[in-house]
Amino acid sequence: MVITKNKFEFVYSPLNYIGSKKKILDQILPLFPEKINIFVDLFAGGCNVGINSDAEKIYCNDNLSFLIEMYQHFQKTDTTEILQHIKNQINTFRLSLENEEGYKNLRNHYNILKNPLDLFVLIAFSFNHQIRFNNSHEFNNPFGRLRSSFNPQMKSNLINFIQNIKTKNIEFTNYNFENFEFNILNENDFVYCDPPYLITTGTYNDGKRGFTGWNEKQEYKLLNLLEKLHQSNIKFALSNVLEHKGKKNDILNDWLSKNDYLCIQFIKNHYANANYQTLVRDKDASKEVLITNYTPPQNKEKEILTLF
């Protein structure tokens, strides 16, 4: 079934994740295959895509182990217990929009005990609600003074998210992308990839998260992996940018010119199929694309896309 929900029907991640696909879910989801047995969100991050997919079994994978442990904890813990834990920690550490000392005390507490639920409380009060670890795997994001708290929107997203991960057939895995068990997949399955983008900056690119950074070597490995999936008749879709602020991703552009995949460009609130060589030249623009090895169902239905 093609997913054509309006934005009020999506399940949103309780995290404000860098590079999140939250804002373009309504454009991406209808481009996924109609019937999926196993859906793999290989670089799940905030899980915005995986949680909204329609499949018999969903894998949400990310190599940020503390993030995956937090999701696994959400899945196995009673919702009221989770909310009570958050409330207790807010009271114990006197967390507020202004109490930086309380935030730092909780951060020290988390870095010693690594309770996955405390990670969520920290994120709620951290700058921009971001996740950042140093090379010793200590959470080191600063306090979100006067801006970040466990606000009602975050609480409602959290409750809805937890309810969905408990009811859908989702498994959270913590593999480096190339080590995922692809041998369980066949032609009825689908792999969605939203990796760090080589030519943009995100905290997960620069190695500062204390985890593997994203570089040209990783980019080549991923493209080789996608070719292997294609040879095994497994469908894939890759989110990426071909150009960003005047920079080009030459590796990806070369790969596209050598292979016969579809490249769909997202333009503001709508999308059009783009011949990647003829994209409008605008040096500040970001050419955000979805590359697929199959014809998206939306194309069959509405003939929106023109194939090059």
Ligand X SMILES: C[S@@+](CC[C@H](N)C(=O)[O-])C[C@H]1O[C@@H](n2cnc3c(N)ncnc32)[C@H](O)[C@@H]1O
71 is a contact residue toward ligand X (CB under 6 A): no
Phi, psi angle pair for 289, to nearest 5°:
-130, 165
**Percent of the chain as helix, strand, coil, to the nearest 5:** 40, 20, 40
Task: Name, in order, each residue with C-beta under 8 angstroms of 27's C-beta and a sequence gap of 6 or more.
Answer: 266, 269, 270, 271
- Choice between 43 and 93, CB closer to ligand X: 43
63 is a contact residue toward ligand X (CB under 6 A): yes
Encoded one letter per residue, x for contact with ligand X by CB under 6 A and - for no contact, window 18-57 reads: -xxx---------------------x-xx-xx--------
CB-count exposure of residue 303 (10 Å: 0-12, 13-18, 19+): exposed
**Dist CA 209 CA 136 (whole Å):** 9
Count of residues in contact with ligand X, rule CB under 6 A: 21
255 is a contact residue toward ligand X (CB under 6 A): no
Least Å from the CB of residue 235 to ligand X: 17
The alpha carbon of residue 89 and the mean position of all alpha carbons in its chain are separated, in whole angstroms, by 27
Restricting to residues 72-131, name those near ligand X by CB under 6 A.
none
Instruction: Kindly state the DSSP code that residue 179 receives in the 8-state scheme.
Output: G
133 is a contact residue toward ligand X (CB under 6 A): no
249 is a contact residue toward ligand X (CB under 6 A): no
Encoded one letter per residue, x for contact with ligand X by CB under 6 A and - for no contact, window 208-247 reads: ----x-x---------------------------------
- Choice between 125 and 214, CB closer to ligand X: 214
Query: For the chain, how long is the longest CA-to-CA vector?
Result: 60
Binding site for ligand X (CB under 6 A): 13, 17, 19-21, 43, 45-46, 48-49, 62-64, 176-177, 194-196, 204, 212, 214
